[in-house]
Amino acid sequence: MALYALGDLHLSFQTHKPMDAFGRVWKNHEKKIKKYTAQIVAPEDTLVLIGDHSWGRKLSECREDLAFIEGLPGRKILLRGNHDMFWDAKKTDRLNAEYAGRLFFLQNNFAVYQDYALVGTKGYTFEGPFYLDPWGNLTGWDEEREAQAEKLVEREMARLRDSFSQASDAGFRKFIMFLHYPPTNILEKTSPFTDIAQEYGVSAVVYSHCHGARRFGDSIRGTFHGVRYLLVSGDYLDFKPALVLP
Ligand SMILES: [Fe+2]
Ligand SMILES: [Fe+2]
């Protein structure tokens, strides 16, 4: 039994948005997802998909993408990404009722893997605009956007706290934390997300969202303050699911 994660599938079986324009790694990427998950993930394993599942804007435009995910091996748990317009956070229970026994939507709730509670939310980080001088040094950033970002971080933190409390009230003491956005942005060393990871002593923080070689190093990778940080965006991993726990 093992726990795997992979993010940013960006499927478009109904909306037909070719991803090839974003680089060679995206060519026939859905075929790679199918092939590598079949090679790596066993039926008794758990596969957490870290958001940006579908380009569809409403659920009716995402049905085939969700059916594709349902067809992947293992128990599938989904997190919300910034592109997942089909999933209103308040309607998570409705999605869970509809896909019961097939897909689990992780939001203001938790899932169980062995003696770990899996908690997660979309998260948020301020992504600019940043202003650079001609030599590429940072000289400033859009402060209005930064203030808006702070509010979104607060909202996401409230959602995450809710999941942590539910899991600890249920007696869990070991946690894996999932975020779609990276836990810190390029200006930060720590954030409310890294703080809560330390507060609960989580074993790992798994995140995605970073696309392209220039963005893979935007946040923490490796061990920081005793917590393991894993970037699992599809194009970073060439669509091979990453092992989170054996
Ligand atoms: Fe994405
Ligand atoms: Fe994203």
Helices (H), the chain: 29-40, 63-70, 92-98, 143-169, 192-199
Place of tokens 């392209």: 212
For residue 45, the one-letter residue type is: D
Q: How far is CA 87 from CA 49, 56, 94, in A?
A: 14, 10, 10
CB 110 within 8 A of CB 175: no
Predicted local confidence at residue 224, as pLDDT: 96
Which pLDDT does position 245 carry in this prediction?
98
- Please give the distance, rounded to the nearest whole angstrom, from the Cα atom of residue 137 to the centre of ligand 1: 26
Q: ω before 129 within 30° of 0 (cis)? A: yes
Q: pLDDT per residue over 140-151, tens digit each?
A: 999 999 999 999
Query: Could you read off the pLDDT tens digit of each residue along the chain, which spans 246 residues?
Result: 999 999 999 999 999 998 988 999 999 999 999 999 999 999 999 999 999 999 999 999 999 999 999 999 999 999 999 999 999 999 999 999 999 999 999 999 999 999 999 999 999 999 999 999 999 898 999 999 999 999 999 999 999 999 999 999 999 999 999 999 999 998 899 999 999 999 999 999 999 999 999 999 999 999 999 999 999 999 999 999 999 999
The answer to whether 112 touches 170, Cβ cutoff 8 Å, is: no
Q: Which ligand is nearest to the CA of 180?
A: 2
DSSP string, 52-84: --B--SSGGGTHHHHHHHHTSSSEEEE---TT-
Coil vs helix vs strand at 237: coil
* Cα 72 to middle of ligand 1, angstroms: 19
Residue 87, pLDDT score: 98
**pLDDT the model gives residue 18:** 87
Q: How far is the centre of ligand 2, averaged over its atoms, from the C-alpha of 16 (Å)?
A: 18
User: What's residue 187's pLDDT?
Assistant: 86
